[in-house]
Structure 1
């Protein structure tokens, strides 16, 4: 698996546009004409109230100057223009929030609650990550209720995680210290935890269903980011970007496979549904669908079920496995001052035989401090998720016009030198008291899971998973780089912050 295979949020070439026919050229010319009118319309009036930012070029705006690691680009721009900056991405105002105060104010506003509709329109899926309005409110509330009843966000989820870690440790042991790409083991392991929650069962690593789900997960991450990018294109260019020969067209085919898989699972569940119990998320949602089966305007349909399952599966798997990868690379890079110290805590609190439990965290401040620091230092989604402004509103004294897109730059908050001493360095001690024996209160400026009503509800589950995987691995193994090589801790930011593919060795302790 190539862990760097993520879509660059601002890479125009990812649209796969290669006009080869007169209809395509006609669409392009029509789009240019529409854009010219749209551009001048959007740039008239209110200029003195809009957030400042670089002007960019006619028609395309600042788009050509944006590449990978846009979190860093926007953070640097904020040093010139202030924490709230605006650039033109084609005809659309893209406003980026680069400090904690503006993110907290902006993401708390009802006018900034919505997602761009392009994602759900192009995919045909209607899940909590992409829904807006009443549909989002009702689905979020009910999905969380079903998941919590199944143990999501509670200590009762722990036994599922520990069972899966047992299989994971066996797989790692079988490598006998040979260099391996960790994601080949971590991706199916972590996603199996969500699979059990959603589908009611786990799949062996080589099970065709497991492979299909993991391939679909990668396709969905790419589809999600590419669809968001198309939100900036004026019509009819947005329609051109959805044609079969484009990236979004090919990803739609991949997405159809997981739709078929989930649809089949829903059918099998329906045939064996029991009224008095929910075996998994699909059971719970099918019962809600039945309540509204005669309501033509229902927000609980098969499309909503498919969307929610795919959203939960992708969100619950990607962040945790990438965080775990960063931890393992960091341990291999800093053996004495990070890995050995965590292992010392493990040996004292847990020992070498008993399996780690979630409660152990209360006596392992250095280990927990490492988890918090990794949330800050290598934020998995450093630009959060795109928002769409539904009505004119003001943030930080600036006008956010309706139709604008907004991104919270979480990276800028986590690298703010006024909040963090030497922010570019990994220093878990910043979360410990002076003698390193206790955790300080977790600072509100650690916002890996964002803030506000649309923040990710999976923080506790993700933290529990990372703690149990991290301690279970380091209890049994010493993690080293491939012989003769050093670890590269450079972050490459696409839609997610990922390291370069590199192998690690897991030597039995």
Structure 2
């Protein structure tokens, strides 16, 4: 008992000493600042604690919206000792995030301490890994054409799986998520799974544990040693400890794939991201730089899986819920366009998108109207800069409030309404490039590297399912989808997929064992 008391007293003394030292350092820094600096306005904050409490890990969305109304498009606040700036103006976000001094990730970002992929890297390490990933995607995808064919296969296989329920209610989120994971598995691993394969479970379970709605926002304002030594051991269910467990779980699952590849890889041309990356590790001129290691490989795989499989699936799920809620209006109009351009004798191809303006407008509008995360992944100010006339110091963490940016009334009329017509061109031609003002994929050099493939996925999945099915709510009642909030309760919503076409052809798809699996693919022609 005496030992425990001594240890507790020691920890308390160290903590208090650290807090006092941090307070003094903060006070000294603040007094050293040039009084002529014009800093952004913002809500008042407590000394040392800042505006956000020590228990807060995410930015409050509602408060952020109110702050932008009260203080303007550039708001400053503190979370502990961390300086934060929140941008809410659409044009200001685009201009600011394109600057070279805002291309880094903050070391205080919650995922930086637990995730070691290119999303958290800075400098040359980030550039090397991001560029390698882009080249690998192009190489494995044959200039993206092969990758498009893989996505087309997955969309058809998903349709076949949903069709096997013969119009009975099914929790489609499970299958659409697995299908998206498969699209990425083909790139990362070089093979895919059947959607009902039990080996899917560990990977899907690890991915499903993340809430994208808050993944972009957490900031760690405590010292790393304080979290590791005191907070997480005493509060094992706290946010940082929980996040560390989830990332570790996903890392373990993906590392098993790497180890399996190392055991079974045969000589010959690399057929997966893992094999290309392992070749890069072996060829590295200076291994001590640590740009390419098995740890960074696993970290990059985590980034790709979380970004592509999880966020992409949320958007597809919202599309399905939306058309199920409007079967005689939006869904019927989309199906008419699909029937006119594609017909029923073949499956949709990516090349069709240039002749399908309503479909493309609907996809763009969902990216605007519904957000996987209301805040973008944060940037760090690399050197003192000026934003909208305000002085912003080096090390400041910059967030963009996408919710307010995507509801800019100067850009869009009635922005709270889901209205694809806002993205229809006057000449009735499809809008094939990202419309001005859409920030879901970010801007600048940190733009999502998978943006192009995400668009291909969304188009092929949505058109394939609408071509083959009438998508209906379980009980024919409207499904209420709000543009605000994550709507997690909708994940378990069941939908009915009632066939519109019946022509079937036998095709084959590769599965994880390397065996070719016969799969019944509806109306598929290469």
> Where on the TM-score scale, by shorter chain, does this alignment land: which range?
0.7 to 0.9
SS of the equivalent of 1:179 reads coil
Match of 1:14 in 2: none
- 2:280 touches 2:292 (CA, 8 Å); kept in 1? yes
- Deviation of 1:431 after TM superposition, in Å, equals 1.3
1:33 paired residue among 1, 16, 20:
20
- Deviation of 1:470 after TM superposition, in Å, equals 0.7
- Deviation of 1:23 after TM superposition, in Å, equals 6.1
Match of 2:331 in 1: 339
1:50 paired residue among 10, 21, 39:
39
Report 1:429-508 matches (<5 A). Answer: 429-434=421-426, 436=428, 438-439=430-431, 442-483=434-475, 485-493=477-485, 500-501=490-491, 502-508=493-499
Match of 1:114 in 2: 104
Is 1:60 matched with 2:49?
A: yes
Q: 1:152 to 1:91 in 2, by over 3 A?
A: farther
- Deviation of 1:212 after TM superposition, in Å, equals 1.2
SS of the equivalent of 2:496 reads strand
| Distance across 2 between alignment mates of 1:211 and 1:85 | 43
How many equivalent pairs are there?
486
- Deviation of 1:221 after TM superposition, in Å, equals 5.5
CA deviations 1:30-60 (Å, max 9, x no partner) are 4542443354345443564111111134443
SS of the equivalent of 2:404 reads helix
| Distance across 1 between alignment mates of 2:148 and 2:446 | 25
Report 1:255-266 matches (<5 A). Answer: 255-266=247-258
TM-score (norm 1): 0.86
SS of the equivalent of 1:354 reads coil
| Distance across 2 between alignment mates of 1:220 and 1:452 | 26
Of the structure 1 ranges 342-351 and 394-403, higher mean CA displacement relative to structure 2 is found in: 394-403
Match of 2:381 in 1: 389
Is 1:412 matched with 2:418?
A: no
- Deviation of 1:74 after TM superposition, in Å, equals 2.2
| Distance across 2 between alignment mates of 1:68 and 1:120 | 12
Of the structure 1 ranges 399-408 and 176-185, higher mean CA displacement relative to structure 2 is found in: 176-185
CA deviations 1:141-166 (Å, max 9, x no partner) are 11211111111872321111121122
2:340 paired residue among 345, 348, 358:
348
SS of the equivalent of 2:481 reads coil
- 1:115 touches 1:130 (CA, 8 Å); kept in 2? yes
- 1:91 touches 1:234 (CA, 8 Å); kept in 2? no
CA deviations 1:175-215 (Å, max 9, x no partner) are 23333332111111111100111011112334343211112
Of the structure 1 ranges 33-42 and 387-396, higher mean CA displacement relative to structure 2 is found in: 33-42
- 2:150 touches 2:183 (CA, 8 Å); kept in 1? yes
- Deviation of 1:450 after TM superposition, in Å, equals 0.7
Of the structure 1 ranges 251-260 and 95-104, higher mean CA displacement relative to structure 2 is found in: 251-260
- 2:189 touches 2:274 (CA, 8 Å); kept in 1? yes
Match of 1:280 in 2: 272
Q: 1:341 to 1:223 in 2, by over 3 A?
A: closer
Unmatched tracts of structure 2, length 5 or more: 1-6, 501-526
- 1:96 touches 1:408 (CA, 8 Å); kept in 2? yes
SS of the equivalent of 1:480 reads strand
Unmatched tracts of structure 1, length 5 or more: 1-19
Of the structure 1 ranges 433-442 and 315-324, higher mean CA displacement relative to structure 2 is found in: 433-442
- Deviation of 1:370 after TM superposition, in Å, equals 0.3
SS of the equivalent of 1:270 reads helix
| Distance across 1 between alignment mates of 2:398 and 2:317 | 29
- 2:360 touches 2:430 (CA, 8 Å); kept in 1? no
Report 1:4-403 matches (<5 A). Answer: 25-26=12-13, 28-44=15-31, 45-46=33-34, 48-63=37-52, 70-118=60-108, 119=110, 122-123=113-114, 125-151=115-141, 154-219=144-209, 225=215, 229-234=218-223, 237-239=226-228, 240-243=230-233, 245=236, 246-273=238-265, 276-292=268-284, 295-403=287-395
CA deviations 1:393-420 (Å, max 9, x no partner) are 2222222212211112222221100011
- 1:333 touches 1:486 (CA, 8 Å); kept in 2? yes
- 1:323 touches 1:380 (CA, 8 Å); kept in 2? yes
| Distance across 1 between alignment mates of 2:393 and 2:438 | 29
Q: 1:89 to 1:321 in 2, by over 3 A?
A: same
SS of the equivalent of 2:289 reads coil
Q: 1:78 to 1:497 in 2, by over 3 A?
A: farther
- Deviation of 1:292 after TM superposition, in Å, equals 1.9
- Deviation of 1:387 after TM superposition, in Å, equals 1.5
Q: 1:499 to 1:348 in 2, by over 3 A?
A: farther
SS of the equivalent of 2:375 reads coil
Q: 1:369 to 1:152 in 2, by over 3 A?
A: farther
- 1:38 touches 1:91 (CA, 8 Å); kept in 2? no
| Distance across 1 between alignment mates of 2:331 and 2:263 | 50
Q: 1:82 to 1:275 in 2, by over 3 A?
A: farther
Match of 1:17 in 2: none
- 2:82 touches 2:397 (CA, 8 Å); kept in 1? yes
Of the structure 1 ranges 404-413 and 147-156, higher mean CA displacement relative to structure 2 is found in: 147-156
CA RMSD of aligned residues (A): 3.0
- Deviation of 1:92 after TM superposition, in Å, equals 1.3
CA deviations 1:119-144 (Å, max 9, x no partner) are 56532x42111111111111111121
| Distance across 2 between alignment mates of 1:268 and 1:349 | 44
